Amino acid sequence: MVKKLLPIQTCLTGKVTVPGDKSISHRAIIFGALSKGRTTITHFLDGEDCLRTIHAFEALGVTIRQEGQQVIIDSQGADNFIEPTQPIYLGNSGTTARLLLGVLAGLPFHIALYGDESLTRRPMDRVVQPLKQMGAQIDGRENSKYLPISVRGGALQSIAFIPPVKSAQVKSAVLLAGLFGNGNTTVIESTKTRDHTENMIKAFSGNISVQDNSISVPSNQQLIGTTLAVPGDISSAAFFLVAAAMVPNSKVTIEDVGLNPTRTGVIDVLQQMGASIEVVEERYIGGEAVGSITISSSTLHGIEISGEVIPRMIDEIPIVALLATQATGTTIIRDAEELRYKETDRIQTIIDTLTKLGATVEATTDGMIISGESTLSGAQVEAFGDHRIGMMIAVASLITEEEVTLVDPECINISYPTFFEDLSQLITS
């Protein structure tokens, strides 16, 4: 399918609530399934990736009822899981693949996993390697680097692990496997990554100790089902933050957004670029910070984005790159080589897309250099099956001189099925 997107004639105003956080929604299903008793999740992200996690745990015999944004899980914990009779399909979802591998490593079953074309190209050795070290038997394509992968799990050895990549998925996979270990499993991160797994173990009455960047989880814990409200996804909110920042005379409030400090790099970077942002009503829900963000359009300038902020905004780099094309001066993004291992090689797809729309962007090995004050033009552009590239294109189309034709808009359903409705609700008529 293609979608014709017209430039905006007015501005963006009003309030919006974005769907539930993707990372937290995945983890709520995983920990609900590992726990004894009933778990009730509200504001669950009803997007394709999170549905893959639901299907994976249904294949393990867990009873999960979903009615839109409410999910009810009734489980007796991992001891009652059953061995699936069929391989499990993971679609496009890297988080399902990596976190599920951590769980399967500890189960006495043989289970095969496969994904779509994009997921089949994404590296799995980053989790396979520590899980093998813990004693799981894992075999996959190209020396277990890629899906399809099969796992024969069981009792595991607890380890201390220093991930070679800055990845919350790797950390989470090892911590999940650590629940099936024979002692304390420790992950020591060089740079802090999103800590929703840590928060959720606490929310499900589990034990976990966090000291600076060292996280330890004891094995043989009985997690207990709970009630959880998922905060709005800051990674989805970022598209409206950027839209309001760059379309003149705009003022938008995004309500009930997750403000976990390991995720708020986009707010810090927008502020450094000169955006006018106010965060109010900060409170905690299920161990996660939540609040409302109001942003107004302003004059923006280019900056250097590198170092510890990168893992705190890794999924927001496509949309921030678009914003940088509208700022004065040059924006340099460094230390972001991980972008190459996302749903697409996002360094390449950001550059291909923005260049096609008339911007001047140059790739580097670990980021990009973006020239500001570009006039963007209309074109037919592809999302390459990457939801965040699709939404970046849709936001870019607000300010192009001519119409933009977006090829494959359906890929946005992976993380934000109601994106176009929510965007149009903000466009002042």
Which residues are annotated as catalytic?
Answer: 315
- DSSP state for residue 394 in the 8-state scheme: H
340 is in an annotated binding site: no
Closest CB to ligand S3P among residues 189, 382: 189
CB of 65 to ligand S3P, least distance (A): 23
CB of 168 to ligand S3P, least distance (A): 4
CB of 146 to ligand S3P, least distance (A): 15
23 is in an annotated binding site: yes
Closest CB to ligand S3P among residues 125, 338: 338
Q: How many other C-beta atoms lie within 10 A of the C-beta of residue 128? A: 24
DSSP-derived 3-state class of residue 179: coil
Tokens of 218: 């004891």
Contact status: 192 vs ligand S3P (CB under 6 A)? no
Q: Report H helices in 259-326.
A: 265-272, 317-324
171 is in an annotated binding site: no
122 is in an annotated binding site: yes
Contact status: 167 vs ligand S3P (CB under 6 A)? yes
DSSP-derived 3-state class of residue 324: helix
CB of 156 to ligand S3P, least distance (A): 21
Contact status: 95 vs ligand S3P (CB under 6 A)? yes
Distance CA 247, CA 111 (A): 49
Distance CA 57, CA 3 (A): 34
Contact status: 216 vs ligand S3P (CB under 6 A)? no
342 is in an annotated binding site: yes
Tokens of 205: 């009455």
Measured from each CB, the residue nearest to ligand S3P is 23
Which listed range, 161-169, 351-359, 368-376, 402-410, lies at the site for ligand S3P (CB under 6 A)? Answer: 161-169
**Cβ–Cβ < 8 Å for 48, 414:** yes
Which of residues 3, 194, 312, 346 is near ligand S3P by CB under 6 A? 194
Type and span of the H or E element at 57 = helix 48-59
Type and span of the H or E element at 236 = helix 234-246
Going by C-beta distance under 8 Å and a sequence separation of 6 or more, which residues neighbour residue 121?
146
Q: Which residue has the tokens 């230390």?
A: 335
Tokens of 301: 């300038």
Contact status: 314 vs ligand S3P (CB under 6 A)? yes
Contact status: 53 vs ligand S3P (CB under 6 A)? no
Cis? peptide before 148, omega within 30° of 0: yes
Contact status: 168 vs ligand S3P (CB under 6 A)? yes
166 is in an annotated binding site: no
121 is in an annotated binding site: no
Which of residues 144, 158, 172, 331 is near ligand S3P by CB under 6 A? 172
22 is in an annotated binding site: yes
Distance CA 194, CA 317 (A): 16
Which listed range, 162-170, 179-187, 201-209, 398-406, lies at the site for ligand S3P (CB under 6 A)? Answer: 162-170
Closest CB to ligand S3P among residues 221, 262: 262
Helices vs strands, H then E, count in the chain: 14, 23
Distance (Å) of CA 91 to CA 55, 124, 191, 293, 392: 11, 15, 29, 32, 22
Which listed range, 1-9, 132-140, 165-173, 176-184, lies at the site for ligand S3P (CB under 6 A)? Answer: 165-173
Which of residues 92, 169, 236, 397 is near ligand S3P by CB under 6 A? 169
Which listed range, 75-83, 167-175, 211-219, 391-399, lies at the site for ligand S3P (CB under 6 A)? Answer: 167-175
DSSP-derived 3-state class of residue 124: coil
Which listed range, 69-77, 137-145, 149-157, 163-171, lies at the site for ligand S3P (CB under 6 A)? Answer: 163-171
Contact status: 338 vs ligand S3P (CB under 6 A)? yes
Of 142, 65, 132, 66, nearest to 101 by C-alpha is 132
Of 333, 394, 315, 324, nearest to 369 by C-alpha is 333
Contact status: 349 vs ligand S3P (CB under 6 A)? no
4 is in an annotated binding site: no
Distance CA 280, CA 290 (A): 9
What is the contact mask toward ligand S3P in residues 220 to 259, using x (rule: CB under 6 A)? ----------------------------------------
Q: Report H helices in 260-360.
A: 265-272, 317-324, 346-356
Which of residues 3, 8, 11, 23 is near ligand S3P by CB under 6 A? 23
Distance CA 277, CA 268 (A): 10
Of 296, 298, 316, 282, nearest to 252 by C-alpha is 296
Q: Which residues are annotated as a binding site for phosphoenolpyruvate?
A: 22, 94, 122, 169, 346, 388
Q: Which residues are annotated as a binding site for 3-phosphoshikimate?
A: 22-23, 27, 167, 169, 315, 342
Positions that interact with ligand S3P (CB under 6 A): 23, 95, 167-169, 172, 194, 314-315, 338
